[in-house]
Amino acid sequence: MRLRSLCVYCGSSLGRSPGPVEAARELGRLLAARNVRLVYGGASIGVMGAIADEVLRCGGRVTGVIPQALVDKEVAHHGLTELIVTASMHERKARMAELSDAFVALPGGVGTLEELFEIWTWAQLGLHRKPCGVLNVNGYFDGLIDFLDHAVASGFIRPSHRAMLRVARTPGELLAAFESYEPPVVNKWVGLDDT
């Protein structure tokens, strides 16, 4: 698939190690070099601000989508190519989904995980056929990946649905996985067997 826009979910904090910010900047450079628009949560702070700033510094395009409540808290990034202000978090997530060809989570907190799981659930239900993944910087998502594999072994996640979530350790590896992504035939509830 030809990737024209990538939605990135990531922390509004910087974290305690430089790895997430370095990975965000590396991904930002690759997006700008490949003329892939960044779609993200519109903030100027944390890992979010780092990736947006790097894409812009490298001459790329950035669309931020942020609810008015966060604009009021003065965390909006006002130097973007485009800043879309929404009435709610729900509208924000729907708009980001509409604008994006693929979705990736970098290290972040509860909000990042919630956004990732929602968009992956939409893929599992067949509401979109776009790739989803995580950039597993310094093993940040190892525990989550282990849990997801445990959920498969326990019969709560089908192997084909687990395989929809791509995992990569570098931005280049992740973009390559997205470009070669073939969405599976989605069959959420019919039948008990899954290969």
Domains assigned to the chain: 5-179 (3.40.50.450)
Query: Which pLDDT score, from 0 to 100, does residue 81 have?
Result: 98
Query: Which pLDDT score, from 0 to 100, does residue 188 have?
Result: 60
Report the Cα 33 to chain-centroid distance in Å. 19
In tens, the pLDDT along 139-165 reads 999 999 999 999 999 999 999 999 999
Query: Which pLDDT score, from 0 to 100, does residue 191 have?
Result: 52
Report the Cα 30 to chain-centroid distance in Å. 15
d(Cα 129, Cα 123) in Å, to the nearest integer? Answer: 6
Query: Which pLDDT score, from 0 to 100, does residue 195 have?
Result: 44
Q: Which residues of the chain have pLDDT under 50?
A: 192, 195
Query: Which pLDDT score, from 0 to 100, does residue 114 have?
Result: 97
- Specify the amino acid at residue 123: A
